[in-house]
Amino acid sequence: MIKINIKPLSVNGAFKGRRFRTDEYRAFQKLLTLSLPNRLDVPDGKLRIILEFGLSSKNADWDNPIKQAQDIISKKYGFNDRMIYQGIVTKVDVAKGQEYLAFKIEKFEI
C-alpha cells in the first residue's frame, strides 16, 4: 500500500459556493427512500457499508453513485454516515433497464 502524508480534501473544500440538489436528485431520493425496506437493524458504533451498483453505461465511474446512495440510506435508517469507517463497492455491468443498487450495513471491526 502506498501512503502519502496529506490531509484528504473534503467535497466541501473542493467546491466554491453552495451545491444545490437537482430535480433529478430529489426524484431519485424520493424513489429510493420509498423503495427501501421500512425497517433495517443498523448496529451501533462504527459501520461498514457494502454497495453494489448495476450500471448499464460502461463509461460510468464506479464511485459516482456512492455519496447519493449513502446519504439516502443513512437518512432512511436514522444513522449518521460519519459512522461508516469502511466501504466496499462493486460495479457490475448490466443491460440498459436492468440497473440496480444493492447494499448491506454491518458492524466494522478490524
In this structure, are strands 47-55 and 84-93 parallel, antiparallel, or unpaired? parallel
Q: Note down the domain range covering 89.
A: 43-110
pLDDT for 50 beyond 70 = yes
Domain assignment present for residue 61? The answer is yes
Domain assignment present for residue 99? The answer is yes
Domain assignment present for residue 52? The answer is yes
Domain assignment present for residue 82? The answer is yes
Domain assignment present for residue 19? The answer is no
Domain assignment present for residue 31? The answer is no
Domain assignment present for residue 109? The answer is yes
Number of structural domains in the chain: 1
Of 34, 32, 24, 26, nearest to 53 (Cα)? Answer: 32
Q: What pLDDT does residue 10 have?
A: 67
Cell 424513489 found at: 31
At 60-102, the pLDDT tens digits run: 889 989 999 999 999 999 999 999 999 999 999 999 999 999 9
Q: What percent of the chain is modeled with pLDDT above 70?
A: 95
Domain assignment present for residue 36? The answer is no
